[in-house]
Amino acid sequence: MGLELYLDLLSQPCRAVYVFARANNIPFEFKRVDLLKGQHRTEEFQKVNMLMTVPALKEDSFTLAESIAILLYLARKFKTPDHWYPAELQKRARVDEYLSWQHTTIRAKANDLLCYKMLLPVITGKPVPAEKMQSLTEELNVVLNQFEQKFLQDKPFIAGTEVSLADLLALEEIMQSLIVGHDPFEGRPKLAAWRKRVEGAVGQQLCQEAHGVLMDPSNISADKFTPEILELWKKLYLK
């Protein structure tokens, strides 16, 4: 049995793993796990990842969770080009710095915006209050400013002159809010130019394929959610 990747391209870390594997011609079997249908919570999937999260990797009897761990495993196992996770100490430290920072900042704020805009109308049947959306947008703008000023500065990419795992993960997190009609690149020429460089380095066609799910609002329509998932999200977002 070869390498299996358990993914849902609605998920930003899943897209990062998918794009990285495809861009580096890593052979794998795509195992789709539909998050909205709760397939990540099934007994069968828990045999692959007891944490019930995607992405997940399975290779024979070896399983692995968490997107960063999976990306680093793939980079090392398949000896991908050095720029993805540079051997040079300070460049690697720049990648590590972003990977350490992003969880509670870019990821958290972009995810909050998406979840409230996407989930609350489905759960309650009402639009999200304008003041709540304004607050979430402002919080996202704070971390986007930090990303531009601290991590991008005047460099083409986070670690310097070549694309890295940090850029790929950052792009997918920032892109996520497009599915609810919020364009994080609007009014940010530096960020928009960086996006074009990352997509150019990875491959425009591959990025369009991976991001296609974000451009189709029907992917998050009410009929896509199972009652069990709706109840779970009610507990999380209706506090």
> Per residue in 48-63, pLDDT tens?
999 999 999 999 999 9
Q: At what angle do helices 67-77 and 12-23 cross, to 10 degrees?
A: 10
Tell whether 79 and 105 lie within a shared domain: no
Residue 58's φ and ψ, nearest 5 degrees, are -135, 130
- For residue 219, the model assigns a pLDDT of 67
Dihedral sign (CA 169, 173, 176, 178)? negative
> Does the N-terminal peptide bond of residue 55 adopt cis geometry, omega within 30 degrees of 0?
yes
**Domain, as residue range, for 91:** 84-238
Nearest to residue 168, comparing CAs of 98, 73, 76, 79?
A: 98
- What is the chain's mean pLDDT, rounded? 92
CB-based contacts of 177, cutoff 8 Å, min separation 6: 110, 113, 114, 117, 140, 183, 184
- For residue 221, the model assigns a pLDDT of 65
Answer whether residue 82 shows pLDDT above 90. Answer: yes
Strands, sheet with 3-7, edge to edge from the N-terminal-most edge strand: 29-32, 3-7, 56-59, 62-65
Tell whether 133 and 188 lie within a shared domain: yes
Whole-number Å distance between alpha carbons of 47 and 30: 17
- For residue 119, the model assigns a pLDDT of 76
Tell whether 215 and 188 lie within a shared domain: yes
Answer whether residue 150 shows pLDDT above 70. Answer: yes
Whole-number Å distance between alpha carbons of 82 and 94: 14
Tell whether 107 and 78 lie within a shared domain: no
Residue type, 229: I
Picking from 34, 66, 83, the residue at the C-terminal end of a domain is 83
Q: What is the mean pLDDT of residues 112-129?
A: 81
Number of domains in the chain: 2
Q: How confident is the model at residue 115 (pLDDT cuts 50, 70, 90)?
A: confident
Q: What is the mean pLDDT of residues 36-55?
A: 94
What is the CB-side half-sphere exposure of residue 33 using CA atoms within 13 A?
25
Q: How far apart are the first and last CA of the chain?
A: 45
- For residue 14, the model assigns a pLDDT of 97
Tell whether 64 and 93 lie within a shared domain: no
Alpha-carbon dihedral angle through residues 162, 212, 19, 45, given to the nearest 10 degrees: 150
> Per residue in 170-189, pLDDT tens?
999 999 888 888 899 999 99
Answer whether residue 20 shows pLDDT above 90. Answer: yes
Q: What is the mean pLDDT of residues 120-137?
A: 85
- For residue 49, the model assigns a pLDDT of 97
Specify the pairing of strand 29-32 against strand 56-59: unpaired
Nearest to residue 117, comparing CAs of 183, 61, 71?
A: 183
CB-based contacts of 210, cutoff 8 Å, min separation 6: 9, 15, 18, 19, 22
- For residue 237, the model assigns a pLDDT of 62
Q: What is the mean pLDDT of residues 199-215?
A: 92
Tell whether 52 and 98 lie within a shared domain: no
